[in-house]
């Protein structure tokens, strides 16, 4: 992550195989039959290195997915949205007060007991702004305080939180030794999870060893199940074609493919598990000094795009239009908040919008205002695959056609996160944020701007905030009408443009597993 800021998106590069933050996915297993086999190694290719491994220091997709192997949450979410026990065996929600009863016998990888006080310390750490955890306000409500009595944790919220248990299902718990020495978590793990990290070779591979005696997984899952891999190896392989070849050659067991190689793997008879996600989401930098701080520029850049065409290019014709900001299933709200609320495609109107705002074309075809050319820095995630490059070319061409000078740059997760949360050196970004409930997106589209907050685009939309604040006072899905009204305020102003969803496949060979937002480690079964 950027040295200036360690905050990161919740699932910044959603395409990374195990990095979809939040709860979602079809939960189905796949792998091609066969009997469960003991003592095997499960090998997974991912396209980007996770960086420092502190599970509460970054939520970029690669790290968030890898975190699940070594760390647990208080509760989990099932495929159908049911809340399941994990570290907590029971819980209550009474207005702004929550209680969690921590299971007895839970131990850390170093053998130390995991206690209610450990939970309190984790909550206090994330809640302290000086620690700059990206989970503050996203997976744990800001202003929450916690106390412990015996095995019971009591959490007091500063305000109602409509999907609070879903949020806590994404907050990884660090054991006492790790809490005391955060620097030790950069290259090793210290949690209660089903695996423990035994080898870390950055930009190459990470190796995990199965823990014996683990009995507190989601819904009571254990590591005693037949077929669970004795080791998990996560390899960094940036090239999708290389990853596909490794799967076909049986040197790995799982890869996620977004480009044309998916057809090759399907044609070879390999099964896959799919995850519904937003992969097309356009952000504008509203901060002062950027051309996109001008509402007219944001509107024109949106009007110039044929979003349907971009969706087809980005998803190779297999995706669908975006429907809401919380995409990962099971979602907190059902329905379509997007259709009919984004500015319509009209290149002539885009030019007229810029004309009216004083951006006039020069002899070179590039618009300028007060002597300053309309030059836009456009960054997009390299995890979007070949479709991402094709769609980015279409967008850049459309903008150039209306007189915008565009510099398009493909970046990896670390570069993209550093620009968004650190340097601020960007005007337009394709950096999909994937969450399962609408309250989780709120810190990214309102509140303090980066680097002080998670609002990396510096969005300030009073209509959004009014509707979202109203929705925050209502429990669960009862507030969805207001959540959708809040989103639509962003769309009407062209503050944020979601344009493509797709089912992202994880192809498997010699193994089967389930995906609920991320690969569920206790679901992996090696096949003989």
* 257 CB-near residues (< 8 Å, 6+ apart): 240, 243, 244, 265, 385, 505, 507
Core vs surface per residue 389-407: b (16+ CB within 10 A) or e: bbbbebbbebbeebbbbbe
* pLDDT on residue 248: 97
* pLDDT on residue 415: 87
Question: How much of the chain is in helix, strand and coil states, percent to nearest 5?
Answer: 30, 25, 45
Query: Hey, is 184 helix, strand or coil?
Result: helix
pLDDT band at 94 (very low <50, low <70, confident <90, very high): very high
SS (H, E, C) 166-178: HHHCCCCCCCHHH
Report how far residue 423's alpha carbon sits from residue 316's, in angstroms, rounded to the nearest whole number. 32
Q: DSSP letter for 103, please.
A: P
* 317 CB-near residues (< 8 Å, 6+ apart): none
- Across 56-70, 220-234, 251-265, 266-280, the highest mean pLDDT is recorded for 220-234
Q: Is the dihedral of CA 136, 142, 148, 152 positive or negative?
A: negative
Q: Where are the alpha helices (DSSP H) in 272-412?
A: 295-303, 307-315, 347-356, 385-401
Q: Which helix (H) or strand (E) holds 418?
A: helix 413-418
Report how far residue 111's alpha carbon sits from residue 176's, in angstroms, rounded to the nearest whole number. 11
Residue among 226, 236, 214, 176 nearest 46 (CA): 236
Mean pLDDT of 395-420: 93
Report how far residue 314's alpha carbon sits from residue 390's, in angstroms, rounded to the nearest whole number. 7
Burial class (CB in 10 A: 0-12, 13-18, 19+), 465: middle
Report how far residue 229's alpha carbon sits from residue 296's, in angstroms, rounded to the nearest whole number. 55
pLDDT band at 435 (very low <50, low <70, confident <90, very high): confident
**Whether the predicted pLDDT of 107 surpasses 90:** yes
Report how far residue 428's alpha carbon sits from residue 457's, in angstroms, rounded to the nearest whole number. 9
* pLDDT on residue 31: 52
Averaged confidence pLDDT in the chain: 91
Report how far residue 455's alpha carbon sits from residue 414's, in angstroms, rounded to the nearest whole number. 18
Report how far residue 518's alpha carbon sits from residue 520's, in angstroms, rounded to the nearest whole number. 6
* pLDDT on residue 517: 78
Residue among 80, 93, 78 nearest 155 (CA): 93
**10 near 22, Cβ under 8 Å?**
yes
Please confirm whether the linkage preceding 451 is cis (ω < 30° from 0). Answer: yes
Report how far residue 310's alpha carbon sits from residue 116's, in angstroms, rounded to the nearest whole number. 49
Residue-range domains of the chain with CATH: 276-502 (3.10.105.10)
Q: What pLDDT, in 10s, does the model give residues 272-285?
A: 998 888 999 999 99
User: Between the CA of residue 490 and those of 415, 424, 428, 498, what are the distances in Å?
Assistant: 26, 21, 16, 10
Mean pLDDT of 442-463: 92
Q: What pLDDT, in 10s, does the model give residues 120-130?
A: 999 999 999 99
Mean pLDDT of 57-74: 92
SS (H, E, C) 32-82: CCCCECCCCEEEEEECCCCCCCCCCCCCCHHHHHHHHHHCCCCEEECCCCC
Report how far residue 437's alpha carbon sits from residue 453's, in angstroms, rounded to the nearest whole number. 20
* pLDDT on residue 33: 58
* pLDDT on residue 34: 73
Residue among 56, 505, 506, 462 nearest 319 (CA): 505
Tokens of 518: 């991320």
Report how far residue 21's alpha carbon sits from residue 315's, in angstroms, rounded to the nearest whole number. 20
Q: Which of the residue ranges 178-182, 190-194, 221-225, 430-434 would you say has the lowest mean pLDDT?
A: 430-434
Helices 347-356 and 295-303, interaxial angle, to 10°? Answer: 170
Q: DSSP letter for 345, please.
A: P
SS (H, E, C) 16-39: CCCCCCCCCCCCCCECCCCCECCC
Q: What pLDDT, in 10s, does the model give residues 138-174?
A: 889 899 999 999 999 999 999 889 999 999 999 999 9
Determine what percent of the chain is predicted with pLDDT higher than 70: 94
Q: Which helix (H) or strand (E) holds 464?
A: helix 462-472
Mean pLDDT of 439-466: 93
Report how far residue 281's alpha carbon sits from residue 497's, in angstroms, rounded to the nearest whole number. 6
Could you tell me which residue, 320 or 3, shows the higher pLDDT?
Answer: 320
pLDDT band at 21 (very low <50, low <70, confident <90, very high): very low
**321 near 339, Cβ under 8 Å?**
yes
**Whether the predicted pLDDT of 32 surpasses 90:** no
Q: What pLDDT, in 10s, does the model give residues 290-309?
A: 999 999 999 999 999 999 99
Residue among 75, 70, 109 nearest 90 (CA): 75
Mean pLDDT of 227-239: 96
Q: What pLDDT, in 10s, does the model give residues 358-385?
A: 999 999 999 999 999 999 999 998 878 7
Report how far residue 441's alpha carbon sits from residue 524's, in angstroms, rounded to the nearest whole number. 30
């Amino acid at each position: 992550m950027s040295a200036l800021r360690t905050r990161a998106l919740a699932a910044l590069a959603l395409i990374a195989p195990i990095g979809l933050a939040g709860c979602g996915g079809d939960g189905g297993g796949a792998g091609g039959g066969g009997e469960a086999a003991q003592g095997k190694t499960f090998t997974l290719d991912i396209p980007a290195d996770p960086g420092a491994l502190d599970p509460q220091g970054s939520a970029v997709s690669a790290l968030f997915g890898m975190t699940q192997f070594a760390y647990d949450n208080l509760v989990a979410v099932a495929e159908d949205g049911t809340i399941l026990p994990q570290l907590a065996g029971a819980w209550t929600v009474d207005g702004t007060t929550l209680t969690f009863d921590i299971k007895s016998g839970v131990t850390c990888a170093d053998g130390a007991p995991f206690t209610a006080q450990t939970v309190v310390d984790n909550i206090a750490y994330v809640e302290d702004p000086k620690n700059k955890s990206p989970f503050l306000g996203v997976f744990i409500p800001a202003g929450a305080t916690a106390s412990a009595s015996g095995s019971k944790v009591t959490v007091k919220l500063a305000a109602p939180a409509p999907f609070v248990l879903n949020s806590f299902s994404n907050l990884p718990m660090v054991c006492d030794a790790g809490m005391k020495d955060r620097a030790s978590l950069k290259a090793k793990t210290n949690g209660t999870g089903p695996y423990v990290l035994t080898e870390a070779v950055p930009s190459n591979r990470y190796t995990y060893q199965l823990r014996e005696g683990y009995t507190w997984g989601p819904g009571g899952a254990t590591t005693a199940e037949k077929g669970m891999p004795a080791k998990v190896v996560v390899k960094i392989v940036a090239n999708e074609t290389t990853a596909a070849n490794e799967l076909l050659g049986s040197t790995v067991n799982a890869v996620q493919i977004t480009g044309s190689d998916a057809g090759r793997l399907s044609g070879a008879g390999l099964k896959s598990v799919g995850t519904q996600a937003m992969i097309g989401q356009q952000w504008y930098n509203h901060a002062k000094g950027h051309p996109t701080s001008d509402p007219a520029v944001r509107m024109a850049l949106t009007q110039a795009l044929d979003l349907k065409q971009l969706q087809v290019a980005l998803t190779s014709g297999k995706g669908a239009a975006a429907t809401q900001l919380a995409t990962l299933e099971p979602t907190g709200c059902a329905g379509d908040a997007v259709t009919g609320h984004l500015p319509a495609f009209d290149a002539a109107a885009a030019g007229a919008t810029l004309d009216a705002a004083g951006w006039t074309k020069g002899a070179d075809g590039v618009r300028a205002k007060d002597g300053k050319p309309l030059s836009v820095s456009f960054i997009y995630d390299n995890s979007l695959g070949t479709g991402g490059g094709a769609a980015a070319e279409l967008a850049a061409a459309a903008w150039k056609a209306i007189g915008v000078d565009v510099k398009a740059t493909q970046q990896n997760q670390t570069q993209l996160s550093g620009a968004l949360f650190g340097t601020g050196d960007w005007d337009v970004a394709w950096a999909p944020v994937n969450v399962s409930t609408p309250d989780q997106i709120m810190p990214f589209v309102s509140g303090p701007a980066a680097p002080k907050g998670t609002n990396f685009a510096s969005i300030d939309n009073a209509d959004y905030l009014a509707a979202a604040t109203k929705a925050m006072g209502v429990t669960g899905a009862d507030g969805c009408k207001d959540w959708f009204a809040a989103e639509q305020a962003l769309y009407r102003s062209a503050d944020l443009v979601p344009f493509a969803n797709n089912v992202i496949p994880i192809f498997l060979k010699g193994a089967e597993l389930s995906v609920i937002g991320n690969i569920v480690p206790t679901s992996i079964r090696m096949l003989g």
